[in-house]
Chains A and B, each alone.
Chain A
Amino acid sequence: MAKSNKPIFWSLFAAGGTLAAFLAPVLVLLFLMVAMGHTPSLLSYANLHAFAANWLGKLFLLGVITLFLWHAAHRLRVTLHDFGLRQDPVVAVVVYLVAAAGTGLSVLYLLRI
């Protein structure tokens, strides 16, 4: 049977899409409140720092950021093809590299908190 890396990227896409469906709207709402000048208490420095200092908080933030990124990367790859950009090998490398870089950076930043 031919080897394929599709299941890996597709499962990250599906996991990220499910997590984004459940959590993205409410998380965006929190940032909308920031934009309107009513920063929720969780997003104050002291509270968010305490949240991210806890390993469960780190795990939550890492999961949300990286799975959203891998979801967006995979769907963007397909969408660029649909918009007429027929360079899939290049597109795939670029979008997955960005997602991988974002994953590495979020680990780095979270470990510094």
Chain B
Amino acid sequence: MSRKPFVRPVSKTGWWLKHPRYMRYMSREVTCVFIGAFALLMLCTVERLSKGQAAYDSFIAALQGPLSIFGMLLVLIFALHNATSWFNVTPKALPVQIGEEFLAGKYIIGAHYAVWIVASLVVLFFAGVL
């Protein structure tokens, strides 16, 4: 047995910069920061809502502006990335077996995208946007 085994040096903090696949993995993982921030924004919205109309209206007014637009766009990009990366692995997470065969992944992914579109349209309709 070797007394000096070779240990490949791997950076604990920068390993994911070494390969595009690792970067794609990390880009998927960091979506959680934006989902979490958005959850806290919704929590603040509910808190302001419980404090009455004046508190709520000033909160909504404070959310307006170019910096806020930039922030929301950033959150939107990561929310979309979470959605697409989540749906694209559904054939692995929820394989559907019919007899001996497995249902092709594209149908499982497609069904999720279809439900996603319908759900988004329902929310937009309910919110008075459509």
Chain A residues in contact with chain B, CB under 8 A?
Answer: 16-18, 20-37, 39-43, 45, 47-49, 52, 61, 64-66, 68-69, 71-73, 75-76, 78-79, 82-84, 86, 102, 105-106, 109-110, 112-113
Within 8 A of A (CB), among B7-33: 11-13, 16, 26, 29-33
Contact with A along B112-130 (1 / 0, CB 8 A): 1001100110011011110
Partner of B128, one of A41, A71, A72: A41
Beta-carbon contact of B57 and A31 below 8 Å: no
Cα A14 to Cα B127 with chains together (Å): 26
Cα A43 to Cα B75 with chains together (Å): 19
Cα A79 to Cα B36 with chains together (Å): 13
State whether the Cβ of B103 lies closer than 8 Å to any Cβ in chain A: no
Cα A73 to Cα B69 with chains together (Å): 25
Q: For A72, what are the chain B residues with a Cβ–Cβ distance below 8 Å?
A: 32-33, 35-36, 39
Cα A8 to Cα B3 with chains together (Å): 44
Beta-carbon contact of B68 and A69 below 8 Å: no
Cα A20 to Cα B72 with chains together (Å): 15
Among B32, B47, B116, B128, which residue has the most Cβ atoms of chain A within 10 A?
B32
Partner of A28, one of B29, B75, B112: B75
Q: For B33, what are the chain A residues with a Cβ–Cβ distance below 8 Å?
A: 72, 76, 79
Cα A35 to Cα B48 with chains together (Å): 17
| CB nearest to B47 among chain A residues | A109
Beta-carbon contact of B39 and A65 below 8 Å: yes
Q: In the complex, how many angstroms separate the beta carbon of B108 from the nearest chain A beta carbon?
A: 13
Beta-carbon contact of A71 and B35 below 8 Å: yes
Q: For A35, what are the chain B residues with a Cβ–Cβ distance below 8 Å?
A: 63-65, 68-69, 71-72
Beta-carbon contact of A61 and B53 below 8 Å: no
Q: For A47, what are the chain B residues with a Cβ–Cβ distance below 8 Å?
A: 128
State whether the Cβ of B98 lies closer than 8 Å to any Cβ in chain A: no
Among B26, B57, B124, which residue has the most Cβ atoms of chain A within 10 A?
B124
Instruction: Supply 14 A–B pairs (Cβ within 8 Å), ascending by A.
Output: A22-B83, A25-B79, A30-B123, A35-B64, A35-B72, A36-B69, A42-B126, A48-B49, A48-B56, A64-B42, A66-B39, A68-B35, A69-B36, A79-B26
